[in-house]
Amino acid sequence: MKSQFSFDPDLIARYDRPGPRYTSYPTAVQFHDGFTVDDYRAAAGRSEALSLYFHIPFCDTICFYCACNKIATKDRSKSEPYLEAMDHEMAMQAAIFNQGQPVEQLHWGGGTPTFLNHEQMRWLMKRTGEHFTLLDDDSGEYSIEIDPREVQSDTLAVLREIGFNRMSIGVQDLDEQVQRAVNRVQSAELTFGVMQQARDLGFRSVSLDLIYGLPHQTLDSFARTLDAVIAERPNRLSIFNYAHMPERFMPQRRIEAADLPAPQTKLDILQMAGDKLQDAGYVYIGMDHFALPDDELAQAQEQGHLYRNFQGYSTHAHCDLLGFGVSAIGSVGNTYAQNVKDLESYYAAIVQDRLPIERGLVLTRDDLIRRDLISELICQFRLDFDTFSRRWDIDTRDYFASELEALQPMQADGLLVIDDRGIQVTDPGRLLIRNICMVFDIYLDQAKARFSRVI
């Protein structure tokens, strides 16, 4: 069953509350510094394939809405020692994990990965191939986050040459007043020119990122942005909700709260966006994501093997994820591991020939069971009791008896249907899937972090 976007204002008003995005379960709030490199090593050696994530933290300019781990600098020379440190980290990780497994998935994120110059890009990919088994037949999912303002005339050709075949382009909004308010001035001509060049060079998938809830946005202004974007037919679209938390993210203090759209305007924008995209033929994947029906995400969901990790929705559930660079998170076997978040600590660990892991978690069997169940719901919008029971050698109805009881009010509200066969999330429930998953999160009441609102 293809995901449909269904917007019910009354239900949203009733269920809109802060909650995790479930890029992992347990969430990063549960990571702790008692986790050791030995815990990480113990999880190695079980993977069929690898997924590699490289965090490039540097940005030439700061976007005021940004909540990522980044370092604003005009000094391009800062990337050189950072790349050398990541090379050393790769060597240490490869000594643990590289048993010839193919790297099926690779992603450069940030920050701004295109902060690197072309020779540095070539060097980093070359060194990655010397440490790990990269696929040379273009069959892997090798993606990079692109800031069009950093793209030179031959940048995309270099990226294609070294193996990238997918990209996501940060857009956020095409309205100039909104762009000025968030310090991200980027013309539609520049954005769509980069997108077309990527297609001409054979990039298989181009995703555009938009944000609703930014200062000075209106229903009409965002509709104009969306119409222009839809006309270009990106393979995927992410439409994120801006969470204004200036007490946590310093750049957001440059945004005037009085300039933000009212809560009702944000809801109107979301409803309009979902309706427009569905009318244009996009499939609602879930959370913030839409895709064309022939895109791999939509196909994976249709076939029942969509997956979710720290980069969002994915099609590579069987891969162990290794993270490189400051703040990068890995998911290996029954563990999560996160690197230190500042450059000084990162370099200090590398110089001492130790992995720069700061905290992590060893998952219990109950964690693994709940992770699998939450993944099924947030990715496939359904759970088959018998299949899940066989997979984990449990009686699913009995194991989650209290949770199934707690779901009854949601069933009464039409968010889902529970019967003898399993759980089926309804169209209205898809937009509130985080609320449904929270019922199965045994750590939620312990969480001290402030999560973004579900809508």
Buried b (16+ CB within 10 A) or exposed e, 372-391: bbbbbbbbbbbbbbeebeee
Per-residue pLDDT at 1? 44
Single pTM value for the model = 0.94
Helix 219-232 and helix 263-279, axial crossing angle in degrees, nearest 10: 30
Contacts of 387 (CB under 8 A, 6+ apart): none
pLDDT digits (tens, 9 = 90+) for 316-343: 878 999 999 999 999 999 999 999 999 9
Q: What does the angle CA 317 – CA 291 – CA 242 come to, to the nearest 5 degrees?
A: 90
Strands (DSSP E) along 28-83, which ranges?
Answer: 49-56, 58-59, 71-72
pLDDT digits (tens, 9 = 90+) for 213-253: 999 999 999 999 999 999 999 999 999 999 898 998 899 99
Other Cβ atoms closer than 10 A to 229: 24
359 phi, psi to nearest 5 deg: -160, 170
Given a cut of 70, the residues of the chain with pLDDT beneath it are 1-3, 446-450
Per-residue pLDDT at 448? 55
